[in-house]
Amino acid sequence: MADSQTFELAATVRPRSGKGAARQARREGRVPGVIYGDNQPAETISLEFNDLFKQFMKGQFTSTLLSVNLDGKKIFVLPRDVQLDPVKDLPLHVDFQRVSTTSRVRVAVPVHFINEGLSPGIKRGGVLNIVRHEIEVFAPATAIPKFFEVNLEGLEIGRSVHISAVKLPEGVRPTISNRDFTVATIAGAVADDEAATTPTAGAAPAEAAAAGDAKAAAPAGGAKAPAAAAKAPAAPAKKK
């Protein structure tokens, strides 16, 4: 588990807001954005595209603490929303939340699984079923974990890993606090599941034999009413 590092991005104040100013910034090879929060007025900015894109491509962009150097003034921020080009998937606009060194933020932290080879269940053909690829937590803005590690050593088929088994750093806690939720399970192999639901080879002959016995027990030509029941009783003879 590793703590987050602070990366710096250079930015300039964007004097005008609106679509026209944003298009102008993009024509100049920059990405428009806005910084808001911390009970301060919003600031419209623009960033150099290449610097922003490199940081964006590293992954975990929205859970990475950044330092924006705004014309010499450093502001700690978290990226909260990135508008992407629908065709090229390139950043078109970024919203940043202003934070302080004492702020606590809500972020989604990815989960890494280790020691799969030491899980007896996986060795026997079990499958790692990941319930949560990320865990949403409250964390200090200056100490956001890069990831959480989940140790699979010793886990058998049918066993689960819950959040209580994940080591969280000091000051970090899950946003879900009312239950010990599941992070992953070791499920049985698909082949085993199919075998459990597929009839065995001897089932068909047994069913055929049962059908034959039933046929032999039934009267020829199908079930018929007894002869006695089919005939009405004879009428009594009349007296002369």
CATH classification at residue 14: 2.40.240.10
Whether 203 is covered by a domain: the verdict is: no
- Looking at every residue in the chain, the average pLDDT score rounds to 82
pTM higher than 0.75:
no
Helix (H, G, I), strand (E, B), or coil: what is residue 162? strand
At 229, phi and psi to the nearest 5? -75, -20
Whether 68 is covered by a domain: the verdict is: yes
Together in a domain, 37 and 114: no
For the chain, give the percent of residues with pLDDT over 90: 60
> Average pLDDT in the 30-41 region?
92
pLDDT of residue 38: 87
Name the least confident of 3-17, 97-111, 115-129, 151-165. 3-17
CATH of the domain at 117: 2.170.120.20
Q: How far is CA 36 from CA 11, 141, 211, in A?
A: 15, 15, 77
Total number of domains in the chain: 2
Query: Cα 129 to chain center, whole Å?
Result: 11
Whether 51 is covered by a domain: the verdict is: yes
Among 74, 100, 126, identify where a domain stops: 100
Asked whether the predicted pLDDT for residue 171 surpasses 80, the reply is yes
Q: How confident is the model at residue 190 (pLDDT cuts 50, 70, 90)?
A: low
Domain limits for position 77: 7-100
Asked whether the predicted pLDDT for residue 209 surpasses 50, the reply is no
Together in a domain, 166 and 117: yes
